[in-house]
Amino acid sequence: APLKTGSVEPAQPSAALTSLRSARPIGRLNDVKYPQDIASPNPALNAAAPMGKFKYEKDFLMQFQNVFVEKPSLDWDIKIKETVGDTPDSARPQSAR
Amino acid sequence: ENVDPKKDGQQLEQITVFHDADNFNVKHPLMHNWTLWFTKPPSGKADNWNDLLKDVVTFDSVEEFWGIYNNITPTSELALKSDYHLFKEGVRPEWEDIQNKHGGKWAYQFKDKRSVPIDELWLHVMLAAIGETLENSDDGEVMGVVVNVRKGFYRIGLWTRTTGKPIPGGGDGDNAGGKGRNAEKGKEVLMGIGRRFREVLRLRDNEVVEFSGHIDSQHAGSSRAKAKFIV
């Protein structure tokens, strides 16, 4: 997101980030009804899975790629700057608003 | 007590990120907590390795993994001498870590940097790690995965707890490093992991992944230790 200059309001977590924080871990995969266009995890991988301990194959995991795109914390950009260096975002010109 | 099935059903309604990316109430747990680490290239000054190796983030769900992956520099855009390491929480991605020092790694070097789809391959290796499809449930070997960006190559590695032999404190059972896992089984477990690893890397028949013990690598004075196994 573009940097807001001249504003000192604390940033608010997005709806997606709020959901990520408050969501419960799935206990039983069988309880989940996925939308029709989403392939469920391979049941054979989890035939004897204990509660909440699942294996996921690549094709299932790849379905999330364009679905959860939010930064995983409010201080993400600072954290990345301190550890990895420039983020891909900051390396690109920001669009003016 | 009578539980109204309708009401009960409502309480159990599971809204995933696929149903509503802004208002979901369940997420997909991973079997382990994973920590992503990054090695910064040395700046040329008196760098301390500890200042260069930093843990970036620890996560425990599929959703959070993608939040991280979608907002971090891709491997192909990293400077030379950078590494990403994705390890189980509590394990430092160094051979000196007590949980690594009796172990080893499967590794493959991609020497044609321009033609290898390194971002896709590293992603697939990370997904295989967090999805727990690199080993069987009772193998207990996988510690983490790593990608190294170097001048002449990219290298992807998979670190294991043992080299197929019992380790100090490994116990008596048929577990990684346990006395109850004989040498034949210990090797077979590692070979199985190596085969899955090379499948994820989509190597051609004439390309092999090599396994070497961390201690052997140290004694060889570089990471070019003689391969203990190949697959």
User: Which of B8, B12, B23, B28 should be substituted to probe chain A, the one whose Cβ sees the most A Cβ atoms within 10 Å?
Assistant: B28
What residues 25-44 of chain B have any CB closer than 8 A to a CB of chain A?
25-31, 38, 40
Distance CA B105, CA B230 (A): 11
- CB burial class (10 A; 0-12, 13-18, 19+) of residue B68? buried
User: Which of B37, B58, B73 should be substituted to probe chain A, the one whose Cβ sees the most A Cβ atoms within 10 Å?
Assistant: B73
Close Cβ partners of B67 (under 8 Å, ≥ 6 residues apart): A17, A20, A68, A69, A70, A71, A72
ipTM of this predicted complex? Answer: 0.91
| pLDDT tens sequence across B108-160 | 999 999 999 999 999 999 999 999 999 999 999 999 999 999 999 999 999 99
pTM of the predicted protein model: 0.90
CB contact under 8 A, B12 and A56: no
The residue behind tokens 């201690």 is B215
Q: How is residue B175 annotated by DSSP?
A: S
Strands (E) located in chain B: 26-27, 29-39, 53-61, 83-88, 104-110, 142-149, 154-160, 210-213, 229-230
What residues 44-63 of chain B have any CB closer than 8 A to a CB of chain A?
54-57, 59-63
* Sequence-separated contacts (24+) of A8-13 with Cβ below 8 Å: A11/A74, A13/A74
Nearest chain A Cα distance for residue B54, angstroms: 6
| pLDDT tens sequence across B7-34 | 544 556 899 999 999 999 999 999 999 9
Longest dimension (CA), chain A: 56
| Average of per-residue pLDDT values in chain B | 92
As beta bridge partners, residue B109 has B155
B86 pLDDT higher than 60: yes
**Helix B62-69 × helix A15-22 angle, to 10°:** 140
Cα distances (angstroms) measured from residue B151 to each of B78, B84, B123, B178, B204: 12, 16, 21, 39, 23
Residue B163 three-state SS: coil
pLDDT of residue B139: 96
pLDDT of residue A13: 93
DSSP symbols for B177-203: T-TTS-HHHHHHHHHHHHHHHHHHTT-
A88 pLDDT higher than 60: no
Nearest chain B Cα distance for residue A39, angstroms: 11
Mean pLDDT of B174-186: 95
B231 pLDDT higher than 90: yes
| pLDDT tens sequence across B164-177 | 999 999 999 999 99
Distance CA B86, CA B58 (A): 9
- Assign 3-state DSSP to chain A and report helix, strand, coil percentages, each to 5: 35, 0, 65
Does B67 contact chain A (CB < 8 Å)? yes
Tell me which of A52 and B25 has the higher pLDDT.
Answer: B25
| Average of per-residue pLDDT values in chain A | 85
| pLDDT tens sequence across B43-81 | 876 667 678 999 999 999 999 999 999 999 999 999 999
Tell me which of B222 and A86 has the higher pLDDT.
Answer: A86
CB contact under 8 A, A25 and B26: yes
Strands B83-88 and B53-61, how do they pair?
A: unpaired
* Spatial contact of A22 and A47, defined as CB atoms under 8 Å apart: no
pLDDT of residue B213: 95
CB contact under 8 A, B73 and A86: yes
Q: How many CB pairs under 8 A join A and B?
A: 150
Tell me which of B127 and B217 has the higher pLDDT.
Answer: B127
A31 → chain B, closest CA residue: B14
